[in-house]
């Protein structure tokens, strides 16, 4: 890990910080209710880059955006850079429950990974087998972002966040490695695409 460029680690740590801040704001977490440990984000970036360089070498430069996002999100979930003000049973937060506060890093990690997938689908740069085979994308009728978010939000919010809560629980209490994360994201990407149905049909 020591061979990783310091500026690259810093770049990904800074980007992580910005995205996590945006996610906390979207959850209406007040600035005085949570903090983000920048030292832990440096560790997140270091471990993530170590893993992704290894995967990239194994796959000869064809890392999918789901793997990229899955490994990055995994290290956020694992190292937990978000610190809530208190996690006492009688703690009260303005907009989130104490359960969500306890699971904040898992919730942030899932949302973070979705943001990474959507961002790279928008700007390109990574392998995306689904988008490449989408008939709507080929016709210029889909950017791969709106459809992704529409399905992802339906999935996360279905039946009072049933799937989202189960994923959060599994991240916190069960074995949930980066490959599990990547497979989850691959499935969301695939399921969100209407252009595959039209092409196959």
Furthest C-alpha separation in the chain: 55
Per-residue pLDDT tens listing for the chain (201 residues):
457 888 999 999 999 999 999 999 998 898 888 999 999 999 999 999 999 999 989 988 778 899 999 999 999 999 999 998 876 656 677 778 778 888 999 999 999 999 999 998 888 766 678 988 899 988 989 888 999 999 999 999 999 999 999 999 999 999 999 999 999 999 999 999 999 875 555
Which CA distances in Å does 122 have to 87, 125, 141, 149, 200? 37, 9, 14, 12, 24
Q: Count of H helices and E strands in the chain? A: 10, 2
**Phi, psi values for residue 64, rounded to 5°:** -75, 160
Query: Residue 198: what pLDDT?
Result: 57
Q: How many residues does the chain have?
A: 201
């Amino acid at each position: 890990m020591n061979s990783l460029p310091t500026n690259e680690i810093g770049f990904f740590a800074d980007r992580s910080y910005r995205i996590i801040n945006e996610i906390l704001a979207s959850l209406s977490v007040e600035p005085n209710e949570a903090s983000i440990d920048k030292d832990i984000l440096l560790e997140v970036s270091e471990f993530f880059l170590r893993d992704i360089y290894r995967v990239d070498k194994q796959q000869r430069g064809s890392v999918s955006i789901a793997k990229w996002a899955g490994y990055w999100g995994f290290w956020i979930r694992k190292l937990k850079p978000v610190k809530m003000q208190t996690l006492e049973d009688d703690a009260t937060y303005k907009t989130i429950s104490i359960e969500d506060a306890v699971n904040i890093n898992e919730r942030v990690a899932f949302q973070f990974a979705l943001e990474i997938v959507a961002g790279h689908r928008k700007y390109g740069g990574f392998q995306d087998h689904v988008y490449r085979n989408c008939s709507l994308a080929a016709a210029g009728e889909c950017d791969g972002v709106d459809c992704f978010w529409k399905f992802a939000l339906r999935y996360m919010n279905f039946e009072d966040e049933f799937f989202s809560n189960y994923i959060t629980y599994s991240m916190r209490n069960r074995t949930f490695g980066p490959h599990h994360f990547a497979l989850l994201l691959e499935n969301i990407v695939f399921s969100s695409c209407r252009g595959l149905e039209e092409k196959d049909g």
